[in-house]
Amino acid sequence: MEADGSQAISGSPSDSQHDPGKMFIGGLSWQTSPDNLRDYFSKFGDIRECMVMRDPTTKRSRGFGFVTFADPASVDKVLAQAHHELDSKTIDPKVAFPRRAQPKLSTQTLPTF
């Protein structure tokens, strides 16, 4: 089940650059698998990567995932459709943006020398 939340794929790091073909998919059913996600979104274009995010401890779905299309124009096709339903649940696809790099420092001031 490690492939369900695959962390990286060969190529440029996905966290540091915006991939215009990447979408965040919210509102997933707990039962939605990466295969179900791929099957649903493949009608909009070729998929390069598909993942359902899982809790590292329980391995249960976290209710969201990501789909990366080979052609960024596929994102527009997804967004042009008003309603998306997968596994009897309305899902919410959005353009994915990378998290802002934030230093992991506490609020305390670091000593200066």
Confidence of residue 13 (pLDDT cuts 50, 70, 90): very low
| pLDDT exceeds cutoff 70 at 51 | yes
Q: Which two tokens stand for residue 49?
A: 């990567």
pTM of the full structure: 0.73
Nearest C-alpha neighbor of 40 from the set 25, 30, 54, 55? 25
| pLDDT exceeds cutoff 90 at 70 | yes
C-alpha–C-alpha distance, residues 58 and 30, integer Å: 12
| Predicted local confidence at residue 108, as pLDDT | 53
C-alpha–C-alpha distance, residues 68 and 19, integer Å: 8
C-alpha–C-alpha distance, residues 104 and 102, integer Å: 6
| pLDDT exceeds cutoff 90 at 9 | no
C-alpha–C-alpha distance, residues 26 and 11, integer Å: 25
| Predicted local confidence at residue 93, as pLDDT | 97
Per mean pLDDT, which range of 60-64, 65-69, 101-105 is the poorest?
A: 101-105
DSSP state of 72: T
